[in-house]
């Protein structure tokens, strides 16, 4: 019997097509093949409660002294991806930002409120995903369904992967994954839409509306956690969630720019941090706020609060300043604007 290789696993993903909480696998034409360098298994550790109760009458555990249940559990799956498919990227953005249409410039507003799309049995939930991990042992294929992206990091670095965009993060579900025989016909899945863009395609990089001539790296993380609410029966399983609540959205990140006469001066950018001043960060293929004319890649944090000012005096390619930041927004102001097409 041959030993399986990690390269034999395949991953497919799509918007969850069945009702929220229903474990039915999407049709092949509602799934995209996700080309990953490394495939992780689902993390079941928070999905299982196992209690060892040493009862009296015996010096060792008896079989009945161990109690195991999946009621009330949660499940996560981690990914790290060199972005090559526009449609998969947009589905990740749909889930983490709760924007159904990510083919245009879209935003998270300061006035954003919790969604009603996560209640069990909701038809065609707008922001839930399904991930299928096809195992070479067909009886062990996993389906993580009714899931949401709780953290997404978008990063670009001139010295990594030719500057191309990477996406990493966590997909979370409060429903038990389905484990069993679930095949996907690769040729019947959604055709890939190429996305080859990265930092070298970002012709407009600005800090406080000042153009940056040399940028080494940029990353932004959108954190949008989820938690179970209540309990219900789903797929004949007790203890499944009746709903999800997604309370806060946080945007953090950093940008590293060369310190010279063309960039925001060291004293000025240090002052942004020391004074707690809000100043915009824009990284994209055009420099108009809100990204209306962007064609491929655009990220803007209009009201960034700088949380540090790290000057690298030892770099062989010149002096660079790393500016970590946290996004803020009040009312209808925008926490973050994104366009990836």
- The pLDDT tens digits of the residues spanning 215-240 come to 999 999 999 999 999 999 999 999 99
Determine the pLDDT at residue 18.
97
Asked whether the predicted pLDDT for residue 272 surpasses 90, the reply is: no
pLDDT range class, residue 292, cuts 50, 70, 90? confident
| 270 DSSP assignment | H
**What pLDDT does residue 121 have?**
97
pLDDT at residue 107, rounded to an integer: 94
**pTM of the complete model:** 0.95
Q: In angstroms, rounded to a whole number, what is the distance separating the alpha carbons of residues 287 and 150?
A: 29
Please give the pLDDT value at position 1.
64
Closest CA to 249 of 85, 115, 84, 59: 115
Cα 319 to Cα 119, 252, 266, distances in angstroms: 52, 23, 11
Average pLDDT over residues 111-121: 96
Q: Cα separations (Å) of 296 from 9, 34, 76, 209, 228? A: 31, 20, 30, 20, 36
Strand 237-240 and strand 320-327: the pairing is unpaired
Exposed, middle or buried, 163 (CB in 10 Å: 0-12/13-18/19+)?
middle
- Alpha helices by DSSP H, listed for 161-313, are 266-275
Q: Give yes or no for a contact between 99 and 328, defined as CB atoms under 8 angstroms apart.
A: no
127 vs 309 pLDDT, higher one: 127
Distance between CA atoms of residues 44 and 177, nearest Å:
9
* 165 pLDDT more than 80: yes
Q: How far does Cα 99 stand from its chain's mean position? A: 13
Q: In the chain, how long is the greatest CA-to-CA distance?
A: 79
User: What does the pLDDT read at residue 275?
Assistant: 87
Q: Is the pLDDT assigned to residue 23 strictly greater than 70?
A: yes
């Amino acid at each position: 019997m041959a030993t399986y290789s990690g390269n034999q696993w395949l991953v497919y993903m799509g918007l969850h097509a069945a009702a929220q909480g229903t474990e039915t696998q999407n049709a092949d034409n509602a799934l995209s093949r996700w080309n990953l360098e490394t495939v992780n298994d689902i993390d079941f550790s928070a999905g299982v409660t196992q209690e060892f109760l040493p009862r009296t009458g015996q010096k060792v555990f008896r079989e009945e002294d161990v109690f195991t249940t999946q009621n009330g559990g949660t499940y996560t799956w981690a990914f790290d991806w060199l972005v090559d498919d526009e449609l998969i990227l947009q589905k990740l953005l749909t889930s983490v930002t709760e924007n159904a249409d990510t083919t245009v410039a879209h935003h998270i507003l300061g006035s954003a409120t919790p969604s009603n799309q996560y209640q069990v049995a909701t038809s065609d939930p707008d922001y839930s995903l399904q991930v299928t991990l096809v195992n070479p042992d067909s009886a062990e294929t996993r389906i993580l369904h009714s899931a949401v992206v709780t953290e997404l990091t978008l990063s670009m670095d001139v010295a990594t992967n030719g500057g191309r965009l990477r996406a990493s993060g966590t997909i979370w579900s409060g429903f038990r994954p389905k484990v069993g025989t679930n095949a996907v016909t690769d040729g019947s899945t959604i055709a890939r839409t190429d996305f080859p863009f990265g930092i070298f395609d970002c012709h407009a990089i600005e800090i406080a509306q000042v153009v940056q001539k040399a940028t080494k790296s940029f990353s932004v993380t959108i954190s949008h956690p989820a938690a179970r609410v209540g309990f219900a029966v789903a797929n004949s399983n007790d203890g499944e969630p009746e709903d999800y609540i997604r309370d806060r959205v946080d945007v953090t990140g950093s940008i590293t720019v060369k310190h010279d006469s063309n960039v925001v001066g060291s004293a000025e950018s240090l002052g942004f941090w020391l004074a707690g001043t809000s100043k915009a960060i824009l990284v994209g293929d055009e420099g108009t706020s809100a990204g209306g004319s962007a064609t491929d890649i655009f990220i803007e944090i209009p009201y960034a609060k700088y949380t540090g000012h790290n000057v690298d005096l030892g770099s062989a390619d010149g002096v660079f300043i790393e500016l970590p930041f946290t996004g803020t927004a009040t009312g209808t102001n925008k926490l973050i604007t994104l366009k990836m097409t």
